[in-house]
Amino acid sequence: MEFRDNGEETAFRAKVRAFLDAEYPAEYASRPTEWGFFNGAARITQEFRDFMRGWVAKLNEEGWGAPAWPKEHGGGGLSVKEQFILSEEFAWRRAPRPGGIGHGWAGPTIMVYGTQEQKDRYLPRIISGEDVWCQLFSEPGAGSDLASLQTRAIRDGDDYVVNGQKIWTSGAHHSHMGILIARTNPDAPKHRGVSYFLVDMKTPGISIRPLVNMLSSHEFNEVYFEDVRIPASSLLGEENRGWYIATTTLDFERSGIASSVSHQLITRDLVAFAKETATGQRAMAANPGLRNELADRAIESQVESLISYRIISMQDRGEIPNKESSIAKLYSSELDVRLSVTGMHLAGLHGQVDDHEWAPSIGGRLPRFYMHSTTSPIGGGTSEIQRNIIAMRGLGMPRG
């Protein structure tokens, strides 16, 4: 692993820090954004929403709104190490970056497979933030085995007619566009009869139903397609080649350093809670083992950082992390759970109080963090799947 920046990287890190010093208000740098949406959107002030609009514009001026995108498409054209530095410095300052399906998946895939007309139409609106995107992949019977999807898209003149259902679609209720994979050849082997579409979410026949989780938070949705007519010009790439488009991975920084920094900041918050609040002090006195528990979380968050540095060192040498990415995802997901459990041990009965005003010392974060952490080992590929990848690709073990 290479922990040191070279001369150019040192200069770039200094530039990022200077930008944050000048442009990101100190009062926002103290916001516990790594606990993020666990506090609920209602607690994001209008003042911060207004700030964010100008913030996105400033990032785009620097090319940091989409740092991995080529400059000709409005991005920063940064190297993988520069992306790593940007993510790391922003995470330590708790500074937000644009992201999501549009920046991270739809845009890069359009760059590779889209027509010039598609690039000209969609890419600028992703960069500007005008269009929010969602991913229409998973189905009730096609989650981990996504190639078993049954949503159909049948060619009819200049359109495709789509029928079917998608599930666990994050943000569909406020998305303008969606990336959709659907079966266009039911007679072909399941990986070979799938096509990839760019869909206007306001198209007649699309209905969205909320899936409200145990946090009473509306993040996921079911999406139904009933005789939805999608123009053939919305097909991305070749018909029946959508599976290979959907599995495209691009050479973008995916080290997970932002998650590592977030976990280190959460650990610091928990230590401060243990030292500075009556509730935390009582918990520590009643259970001396909590000191070891906090020490474990601090060590584990540092180990997570080392895994991130290993991945970025590989990418910087032109190598492609495979099992290493699965190790990072598995470790980070399960550390999320362990951190939340430690927080609940410290909070005691206060860990049941989801009320920012009544419990300002913990801000109502702990119970929501605890409940949400249960999703970490599932989303983005379950822990079981990650262990299989590590076993087969990393250890050379046979498929079970």
Q: Which residues are catalytic?
A: 253
Rounded Cα distance, 56 and 63, in Å: 10
Cβ pair 89, 16 in contact under 8 A: yes
User: Residues near 19 by Cβ (< 8 Å), separated by ≥ 6?
Assistant: 62
Which two structure tokens, joined as six digits, stand for 55? 């913030």
Strands 218-231 and 206-212: antiparallel
Strands 194-200 and 235-236: antiparallel
